Structure 1
Amino acid sequence: MFRAGIQILTILGFISIVSCKSRIIDKPIHFDNQRKELTREYIKDHYGLEVENIKIDPKIIVLHWTAIPTLQGSFNAFNYDTLPAARKDIAKASRLNVSIQFLVDRDGTIYRLMPEDFMARHVIGLNYNAIGIENVGGTPETPLTNDQLKANIWLVNYLNRKYNIEYLIGHYEYTKFEGSDLWKELNDNYRTEKTDPGEEFMRKVREAVKDQNLKSAPAKN
C-alpha cells in the first residue's frame, strides 16, 4: 500500500510537470541575426553596454496589453525585425522592432514568442532586466478577460519559480524605476505614456500572487 501510494504520487507529480510544460505553446517570431544585431545596437545606444550576446538576467515581470483585438494582429506587430512605419513615436530611438517573450490570447492560451532570456524591446529603461507578458486586446471593445487574468497569474508564478524575480509591474509603472539601479536608459528624452494593462487587472494579479512576495514599482522621488 505504501509503495502504491508513492507510485500514485509520482504519477500525479509527473502529470503536473507535463501539464505545466504544455501550458506554454511556442509560436516564435522572426528573430534572425539582423534582429540580434539591432538588439546589440539598442543595448549599446541606450544602456552604454557592448555585449556579445543578448541574454538577460530578469529581475522584473512587466504586464502589457497590445491594444490590438486579435491574436494574429498582435503576433504580426512583433514578427518583423524592424519597426513598421506606423511606429513614429519610438522610431527615432531605434529601428529595432518591439518584441515580447509571452503573448496571452483572450481565451487564456499562452504563446512564447522568443527565448525567455533574450532581451525584448517592450519597456523603456528596463528591457535588460525584464520579461514581458503581452495580452491580446485592451481596447474598450476587447477588454482583458478572466481567462487572461488566470493565465497571467500562472505565468507570474512560473517565471518567479524559474528566475530570480524581484518586481511585478504594469507597463504604466515603468518610469518609477528612474534613478534606481535597475534603470538603464541613457536618453532623458525617450519616454512614452502608458496605461496598460490597467490598474484593476494589476490589482487582481498582485492579490493572487501575494504569497510570492514580489515588490511593486518603487515610489518615485
Structure 2
Amino acid sequence: MHSKNGIVEVLRIEYIRLKLISVSFKTTSSYLLFLLLITFGLAGCGSSATVSKTTLKIQDTPIVFDQERIELSRAYLRDRYGIVQNDATIRPQMVVVHWTAIDNFKESLEAFYPPKLPNSRPDISSAGSLNVSAHYLVDRDGTVHRLMPDTLMARHVIGLNHCAIGIENVGGTKDTPLTKAQFQANLALVKELSNKYSIKYLIGHYEYTLFEGHELWKELDAGYRTEKTDPGVDFMQDLRKELSDLELKGPPGQPITTAQ
C-alpha cells in the first residue's frame, strides 16, 4: 500500500521532470490527472507490474482524457445505454481483444489520442462524438502501453463498454499479422487483469454481437452494429487455450475453456 506522502512525492518529482523535458501530451495538467488516477488505483490494488508471476511491464502512454472526454463519455453512457452517472467510471467484468488494422504504433496511438471522433469515421459518428479508444495498446514487439485507467470507460465495443476493458494490438492487416510477442503480452495482461478485477469474460471483438439479449448488453439502438473480425479466430482460440486455468467465459452459449 502506498502512503499518501509517498504518492504526493512521486507526483512532485514527475511534475519537475515534465517541466524539464518536452512532453507530447496535450497539457502537463492532463498528464498529471492521469498519473493521479493511475497512482491511486495502484495504492488500492498493488503495482500492475508485480501482481502476477509474469514478466509483464506496462508503460504509461496516456491519451487525452480531459474534462471534454469525461463529458463525452458520460453522454455516451446515457444516450447509448441509459446509464446516468456523475462520472465515466466502469466496473470491469470483461476483457475484449482487438487489433487496430493499422501497421504501426504511432498511427494507432494517434487514432485514439483526441477526445472527439474525427470526421473520417462516419460509420459510427451517428452514435456519438466520443472518440474510440482502449485501455491498452500492445505494440508489435510486445510492449504494453496503458492509454487510460482501467476503471474509466473506453469506446471500443458496442453494447459492452460499460463493463469491458479493451486491449488493442497494433497491426492485423494482411502484411502485419499479430506477432508472437503480442500474443505473449496479451496472455500476461489478461492474467494480470483477471487477478486485479472480477473478470468473468474474455472475448474477441468479432464476438461482441453474441451478447445481444444478455444481461450485460446495454446498446439501446437495435440498428447500431458494425461487423468485426479482430483479433482473428485463431488468436482467440490460442489465447483461451493458454489461459484455460482462469476458466474465463466466452460469449453466451460457448463452453468455458478449462485446463486439462
Q: State the partner residue of 1:87.
A: 121
Q: In the aligned structure 2, how far is the partner of 1:214 from the partner of 1:44? A: 29
Query: Which of 219, 237, 257 is 1:185 aligned to?
Result: 219
Query: Which of 218, 230, 234 is 1:200 aligned to?
Result: 234
Q: State the partner residue of 1:169.
A: 203
AA partner of residue 17 (structure 1): T
AA partner of residue 125 (structure 1): G
Partners of 2:56 and 2:188 within 8 A in 1: no
Query: Which of 28, 37, 48 is 2:82 aligned to?
Result: 48
Query: What is the DSSP-based 3-state SS (H/G/I as helix, E as strand, rest coil) of the residue aligned with 1:211?
Result: helix
- The percent identity for this pair of structures is 54
Question: Which of structure 1's runs of 4+ aligned residues deviate more than 4 A?
Answer: 18-22
Query: Which of 179, 200, 206 is 1:145 aligned to?
Result: 179
What do residues 126-148 of structure 1 show as CA deviations (whole Å, max 9, x unaligned)?
Answer: 00010000000000111100000
Shift, 1:219, TM fit:
2.7
Aligned residues: 206
Runs of 5+ in structure 2 lacking a partner? 1-46, 255-260
AA partner of residue 158 (structure 1): E
Partners of 2:73 and 2:88 within 8 A in 1: yes
Q: In the aligned structure 2, how far is the partner of 1:175 from the partner of 1:78? A: 23
Partners of 2:94 and 2:202 within 8 A in 1: yes
Runs of 5+ in structure 1 lacking a partner? 1-13
Matched, 1:38 2:68: no
Q: Which has the higher contact order (CA 8 A, sep 6+)?
A: 1
Q: State the partner residue of 1:133.
A: 167
Q: In the aligned structure 1, how far is the partner of 2:62 from the partner of 2:152? A: 12
Shift, 1:21, TM fit:
8.6
Structure 2-normalised TM-score? 0.77
Query: What is the DSSP-based 3-state SS (H/G/I as helix, E as strand, rest coil) of the residue aligned with 2:162?
Result: helix
Q: In the aligned structure 2, how far is the partner of 1:104 from the partner of 1:207? A: 20
Query: What is the DSSP-based 3-state SS (H/G/I as helix, E as strand, rest coil) of the residue aligned with 1:132?
Result: strand
